[in-house]
Structure 1
Amino acid sequence: MDKIQHRKVPVNGINLHIAEIGDGPAILFLHGFPELWYSWRHQMLSLSAKGYRAIAPDLRGYGDSDAPPSPSNYTALHIVGDLVGLLDSLGLDRVFLVGHDWGAVMAWYFCLLRPDRIKALVNMSVVFTPRNPKRKPLEAMRARFGDDYYICRFQEPGEAEEEFARVDTARIIKKFLTSRRPGPLCVPKEVGFGGSPHNPIQLPSWLSEDDVNYFASKFSQKGFTGGLNYYRAMDLNWELTAPWTGLQIKVPVKFIVGDLDATFTTPGVKEYIQKGGFKRDVPFLQEFVIMEGVAHFINQEKPEEVSAHIYDFIQKF
């Protein structure tokens, strides 16, 4: 880990913190919520040892990167703009792209908006969701899953932050990272995101107290607002990406998901995949991997397997 280098790069009006290691063809890793560049530590070490240059930013709003306060500064156009600016700053024309969770969502947008910068994509957990011109995403989620659905609960600025603040930050991190409950994730206000403080959270073998403390230290400093703003910009994304309605993802793709992942077990997702919708919208989908007994934070839970899956795919290009 001490061989991973850190620096800040000015892009798109903000400073982005990046971690990087290795030389060779570049792989850009995009993390999710509530995560950091650190989520990719295993893959960075593994793939840099195989001759690749691994680059993992703290995305806008996270860790040691700048965090503008307004949700309107967290649209897909901002995030993809940050990443294009990062590639330009590093002198990289095209990269391999790897995403998970919100990083996967932004990876889909990156491939939709700037496929010319991507050699191939390995995406995890979140399938591509084509824009529905007739209905905003939050309206659709509320109608389907109710007001207790976690994305709906994240919408009111300050509300989730206040709830998180009543719980130890490390507990919030543990609660999210160790969750193995198949979706959709609904959290009534009376239950809260931290659950009962009297119920200890047992850490799995793949997550150490040191790992939790690293995440918790950064979120204690930065707060959760930056990460939550991605959820709060969903309807704005819908408005801004209207010109790209109906466009397919036209880069080579490998998709990996755990069979216990809440995003995979959310109603409608398996049907979308099995009935051909996913392949229709992502026509260059070359490999689809379902990992058995694996939940959402797949790149941390099964680091060696995920690193091998990434390597097996990108070495073809």
Structure 2
Amino acid sequence: MESIRHSTIPTNGINLHVAEIGDGPAVLFLHGFPGLWYTWRHQMLFLSSKGYRAIAPDLRGYGGSDVPPSPSSYTIFHVVGDLVGLLDGLGVDKVFLVGHDWGSIVAWYFSLFRPDRVKALVSTSIEFKPRHPAVRTVDFLRQKLGDDFYIVKFQEPGLAEAEFAAADTSKLLTKIFTSRDPNPPRRSKGSAGFGTLPEDPIPLPPWLSEDDVKYYADAFDKTGFTGGLNHFRALDLNWELTGPWTAAEVGVPAKLIVGDLDISYNTPGVKEYVHGGGFKRDVPLLHEVVVLDGVAHFLNEESPHEVNRHIYNFIAKF
């Protein structure tokens, strides 16, 4: 890890913290919630050893990057603009994109808006989500998954922040990272986020160390969770602004990697879309969907060797 370089890059009116290692074709890694550049540590070390330049920023609102206060500063255009400016600042023309969770959503939009900057895309955990032509995103989630769905609850400013602030950050993050029930309650009644925490310590799996949890917890204890939550709070604004991209196809080569125990993959309707032809219709250059057995949402940390292999085997084709 000592060989990973860290810098601050001014872009799009803010400063992004960026981790980087290696030389060669560039791979841009985009983390999700509640993640950081650190989410990609295994992939960065592996791909740099294979002759690639691995670049992993903290997205705006996270870690060492700036945290604008207003949710309106977190639209997908802001975030993609940050990344285009980052690439310009680093002197990189085209990249392989690799996203996880919210970072996958960003990667899909990046590929819609600026396919000229993308060689190929690997999405982990999250499929492409085409814009609904008539229903706002939060209303759609409410209709489909109920008022208690965590993203719906995240819309109220301060509610989730208060719950997270009252919790032990390390325990909260451990619960999120280790969740692997394919059909859990979406959240507990009365909870703004991810339900109540157990009184006893949560056992750590072999792939998640105390040092790993501490790295994440220290970062969120310093910045709070508002920056990350504001990405969710811009969902309806994203819906308004992306009207011109209704029914647009993603026109870059793509691959999806998911775990069969991933809560997102087991959300009603996702498997039917991914495997039933809709996904291939919207992403016509889709090469492959890989489902990892016995693996949950944070697959790039839980099963790094498999994920590394699948990423490398795909991008090496281009």
TM range (shorter): over 0.9
Query: In 2, Cα distance between the equivalents of 1:176 and 1:16?
Result: 25
Q: Sequence identity, in percent?
A: 65
- Is the Cα–Cα contact under 8 Å of residues 171 and 194 in structure 1 kept in the other structure? no
Query: In 1, Cα distance between the equivalents of 2:310 and 2:276?
Result: 25
- Residue 224 of structure 1 pairs with residue 225 of structure 2: yes
The residue aligned with 2:161 is: 161
> Per-residue displacement from partner, 1:129-170 (whole Å, max 9, x unpaired)?
111111011111111211111111111011000000110111
The residue aligned with 2:264 is: 263
* Counterpart code for 1:77: F
The residue aligned with 1:121 is: 121
Structure 1, gaps ≥5 residues long: none
Query: In 2, Cα distance between the equivalents of 1:40 and 1:183?
Result: 27
Shift of 1:188: 2.7
Query: In 2, Cα distance between the equivalents of 1:149 and 1:290?
Result: 25
Query: In 2, Cα distance between the equivalents of 1:143 and 1:252?
Result: 32
- Is the Cα–Cα contact under 8 Å of residues 171 and 197 in structure 2 kept in the other structure? no
- Residue 235 of structure 1 pairs with residue 227 of structure 2: no
Shift of 1:190: 3.4
Instruction: Evaluate the alpha carbon distance shift between residue 137 and residue 183 of structure 1 in structure 2; reply closer, same or farther with a 3 A threshold.
Output: farther
Query: In 1, Cα distance between the equivalents of 2:140 and 2:242?
Result: 17
The residue aligned with 2:307 is: 306
- Is the Cα–Cα contact under 8 Å of residues 172 and 197 in structure 2 kept in the other structure? no
Instruction: Evaluate the alpha carbon distance shift between residue 149 and residue 288 of structure 1 in structure 2; reply closer, same or farther with a 3 A threshold.
Output: same
Query: In 1, Cα distance between the equivalents of 2:197 and 2:262?
Result: 23
Query: In 1, Cα distance between the equivalents of 2:310 and 2:140?
Result: 34
- Is the Cα–Cα contact under 8 Å of residues 174 and 202 in structure 2 kept in the other structure? yes
- Residue 247 of structure 1 pairs with residue 248 of structure 2: yes
The residue aligned with 1:133 is: 133
> Per-residue displacement from partner, 1:222-258 (whole Å, max 9, x unpaired)?
0000101111111110000001111100000011000
- Is the Cα–Cα contact under 8 Å of residues 185 and 262 in structure 1 kept in the other structure? no
SS of 1:210's partner is helix
**Alignment map for 1:142-291 (pairs within 5 Å):** 142-183=142-183, 186-190=186-190, 193=194, 195-291=196-292
- Is the Cα–Cα contact under 8 Å of residues 72 and 237 in structure 2 kept in the other structure? yes
**Alignment map for 1:291-302 (pairs within 5 Å):** 291-302=292-303
**Larger deviation, residues 272-281 vs 181-190:** 181-190
Structure 2, gaps ≥5 residues long: none
Instruction: Evaluate the alpha carbon distance shift between residue 184 and residue 153 of structure 1 in structure 2; reply closer, same or farther with a 3 A threshold.
Output: farther
The residue aligned with 2:98 is: 98
**Larger deviation, residues 204-213 vs 174-183:** 174-183
TM-score, normalisation: structure 1? 0.98
**Alignment map for 1:29-108 (pairs within 5 Å):** 29-108=29-108
Shift of 1:44: 0.3
Query: In 1, Cα distance between the equivalents of 2:247 and 2:174?
Result: 38
> Per-residue displacement from partner, 1:36-77 (whole Å, max 9, x unpaired)?
000000000000001000000000000000010111111100
- Is the Cα–Cα contact under 8 Å of residues 187 and 193 in structure 1 kept in the other structure? yes
Aligned Cα RMSD in Å?
1.1
Shift of 1:196: 3.5
* Counterpart code for 1:128: F
Shift of 1:120: 0.4
* Counterpart code for 1:277: G
The residue aligned with 2:28 is: 28
Query: In 1, Cα distance between the equivalents of 2:164 and 2:276?
Result: 39
